[in-house]
Amino acid sequence: MRLDINLATRPYEDAREFWSRWGLGVGLLGLLTLLLLVLAERGWTHAGRDRHEIGQLQAQIAERDNERAKAQAYLDMTANRSTRDQSQFLNGLIQRKSFSWTRVFEDLELVMPSSLHVVSLRPELNDQNQMELEMRVVCQTRSAAVELVHRMEGSRHFRGAQLVAEAQTGEAGAGVSALVIAVYIPDSTDRSGR
């Protein structure tokens, strides 16, 4: 049997080599696409569960807010105002009495830069009923006050530390007086073992 092939008009193509090279690549891309589709479907399913849980939590929050509003309305009644005010006053006194100066100074000692001196320290309850410390500090440079704020931010006992005000002290500006405010979070366990 004789085959007449004119290579000038129809060049020879090795289809087997083409499909063995490109077919493997296309097959791998198909498997990768299938894997990505499975992962996307799994992510969509998990997101649906998360959306459901978020909806439940939002419903619980709304229910608690409703209960709180009812309780607040009950306390705001004229017959209950004096009891509410007395209760708030006594709770504030108890919280102030439970404030431990020793713990505050121990916790401050851990974050206080050596070149900084505390001039005054005033604890006070803020609007969220958290103990807020207002500290007046004196140092040679502003960087020491900024370092104190950074160290307080890294501590588990202080939150929301801010350098509120600063001023030059002395006749020739030999130092800086700074006002630092932070929320104080004491340990839940007593360190002294009492």
Q: For tokens 């419903």, what's the residue?
A: 59
* Residue 193, pLDDT above cutoff 50: no
State residue 92's pLDDT score: 76
Answer whether CATH 3.30.710.10 is correct for domain 99-184: no
Closest by CA position to 108, among listed 145, 140, 155: 155
Q: Say whether pTM exceeds 0.85.
A: no
Q: Which amino acid is at 105?
A: F
* Residue 74, pLDDT above cutoff 50: yes
Q: Please say whether the beta carbons of 173 and 160 come within 8 A.
A: no
- In sequence order, what are the beta bridge partners of 125? 131
Q: How many CA atoms lie within 13 A of 40 on its CB side?
A: 6
Q: For residues 21 and 18, give the distance between their C-alpha atoms in angstroms, rounded to a whole number.
A: 5
- Which is more confident, 95 or 37? 37
* Residue 184, pLDDT above cutoff 70: yes
State residue 4's pLDDT score: 65
Task: Report the alpha-carbon angle 171-175-177, nearest 5.
Answer: 105
Domain ranges of the chain: 13-76, 99-184
Q: For residues 39 and 120, give the distance between their C-alpha atoms in angstroms, rounded to a whole number.
A: 59
- Which is more confident, 165 or 36? 36
State residue 189's pLDDT score: 55
- Which is more confident, 192 or 54? 54
Q: What is the pLDDT of residues 157-180, one digit of tens each?
A: 899 889 888 888 765 556 888 999
- In sequence order, what are the beta bridge partners of 179? 136, 165
